[in-house]
Each structure stands twice: as structure tokens, then as C-alpha cells.
Amino acid sequence: KIGTVHFSGNNSIHFIDESLDPKLERLVNIDEISLKNIDNSDINNSADLTISMHVDKHSSLETKCKIRPFLPKVDLDLEGRIRNVHLPPISPYLSKYLGYNVKTGVLSLDYVFKVDAGVLDVDNEVVIKNIKLVPDDQNKIDKLSKQLTMPLDKALSILRDKNNDVNLSIPIRGDIENPDFNLNDIIGKALGRALKMASVSAIKYFLQPYGALLVLASL
């Protein structure tokens, strides 16, 4: 048994990913990491993990997690939030999945994250402010466009609210050990659902009198 492992004070992680072009390099400041109740007398025992970090005075990550570290497959319950992440520096990761680089944009995210014996069940509430995209990989763009029935940049323009923000719910489900588990397919499907809802909303409120009929049909 270990009661508590606790980091506090002035700590940081110098993160470099040289697999990207250009390479990603960021300094992440650790405000707190705390791991409590580590006990392997029973493999079903759970430990409590708390993490608080920031990249600059505006960008932060806070998460709390119950993890069962001694089970043979990943098993955890986690929830947290990410605030005001500047997207252009992490563009290479987005290009990998979506085929676009981000010229401008700030992301905030609330998430509930569960893994039960390797099966992933995640709910994400995403807010993206002032996003502007630049094409980078045409093959990936074409594949995503087929899923959305339109290019991603046009799709996001439909989803913008009056403050120029994009609000999305992106659930992610699947077995992370299954070779068919594909994150960009999941993102594409979630965006497609959001677009469908946005299109229905537009009909309801702008295309009268047909919108009124659709509201009545929904009721």
C-alpha cells in the first residue's frame, strides 16, 4: 500500500514530439499531481488521481480520475476540463486526423471519460472560438468531406453561433484494442450529426412557413 504520492510547487514537463513536421515543442507547468490509495491487495481496488496543469496564464487542464491500475486491461473513470488551448501549435495532430491545419482558433473542452476493460466511452462538450482552417492533406480532406457531404471549413461555418463560436458534442465509443477503432471516423460521424441538427434548426427558424410545420411535426 502507498497512501499518497503528491507533487506540488514549481514543476514542469518539456514536451517535444519530433515525429511531427514541424516538431511540436511545449513547456507544460504542473500545478499539482496527486495519486492516493494505491493498494494491490485486491486487483479491483481503485486509486484516486488528480492532475492540474497549465501551459500559460490562459490555458489550463484539470482532471480527477479513479483508476484501477492492477487490472489486466485499462479500467478508469475520469472527468475534467481543458480551457483556452491555442490550436495553431498543435495543428500537426489535427492534420493527421482531419487533413487541415489551424490558422487561428482556441479550444475549450469538458469531458467525461470511462474505460471499462479496454472499452472506451467518452462524452466531450467542445467549444472552439474563431477557428480558421488551412488545407494540408487533400486525401484526408476528401475522405472527411464524403462523411460530412461538404468540406470541413464549410461545415464549421454552418455550426458557428452569433459569437463566431462552434459548440459540439462529440461522443466516442469503441474498443481501443480493436484495430478497426478509428478516431477520425468517429469525429466525422459526430460532425455529421451536428450538421444535421444545425440544418434542421435553420429550417425551423428561417424557412417559414415550412419551419412552423416542422416544429408541429416534432411536437
pLDDT string in tens for the chain (219-residue length): 999 999 878 889 898 888 877 788 888 899 999 999 999 999 999 999 999 999 888 899 999 999 998 998 888 899 999 999 998 888 887 787 778 888 999 989 999 989 888 788 888 888 889 988 888 888 888 877 777 667 777 777 777 887 888 887 877 777 767 766 665 666 666 666 655 554 444 444 444 444 444 445 444
Residues 94 and 183: their CA atoms lie apart, in Å, by 11
Cis upstream peptide for 209 (omega within 30°): yes
Helix spans in 70-175 (H): 91-98, 138-148, 152-159
| pLDDT of res. 215 | 47
Residue 210 neighbours by CB distance under 10 Å: 11
pLDDT at site 179: 61
- Res 146: pLDDT: 76
Phi, psi of 192 (to 5 degrees): -60, -45
Rounded Cα gap, residues 48 and 34, in angstroms: 8
For residue 24, the cross-strand partners are 17
Burial-class residue 131 by CB neighbours within 10 Å (0-12, 13-18, 19+).
buried
Distance CA 127, CA 168 (A): 7
Q: What is the largest CA-CA distance in the chain?
A: 68
pLDDT for residue 126: 86
